[in-house]
Amino acid sequence: MSASIRIRPEVITAHRLRMEMVGLEDEDIENTIRMKGWAWVRSRNAWVYAGEPDFVNRQIREVIIALPDIFFDEGGLEESIRTVQEKARNDEEREEVRDLMRQAFEKTGQLEAAAKFL
């Protein structure tokens, strides 16, 4: 059931982000993320969530950190980190997301690979 996450900038607004999750094969988890506002996008063949930083931070806490077998796409570590930091609306939000990303990388076992970007 391992699924990978990648966080990308949305181009429609200054602070909007998009999270894409591929490889999710657990129906129970699919139902959980659907209730959290994620949508299946057939053209991307991925679960997608888009929102402002405070909503994305909540998804990092409740999906990436809380659910099993979800990790960051290895090729997208730098982009994911850079995106959440650049899209933060203020220093407080930037610090919150930095802490959340560190927790997420600890949970996924990717902290060493991501540390140079944090």
Question: One-letter amino acid identity for 77?
Answer: L
Residue-averaged pLDDT of the chain: 94
Nearest Cα neighbor of 48 from 60, 64, 37, 35 is 37
User: Tens digit of pLDDT for each residue in 60-78?
Assistant: 999 999 999 999 999 999 9
For residue 11, the model assigns a pLDDT of: 75
Average confidence (pLDDT) over 34-40: 95
Instruction: Give the residue among 66, 106, 17, 96 at the shortest CA–CA distance from 115.
Output: 106
Structure confidence at residue 1 (pLDDT): 57
Residue 61: the pLDDT is 96
Non-local (6+) Cβ contacts of 113 within 8 A are 74, 77, 105
Integer angstrom CA distances of residue 108 from 8, 42, 51, 63: 19, 26, 23, 12
* Average pLDDT of the segment spanning 82-111: 96
Tell me the domain boundaries of the chain. Answer: 3-114
Query: What mean pLDDT comes out for the span 85-89?
Result: 94
Q: Which whole number is the average pLDDT over 16-44?
A: 93
Q: What is the pTM of this model?
A: 0.90
pLDDT tens digits, 8-20: 998 778 899 999 9
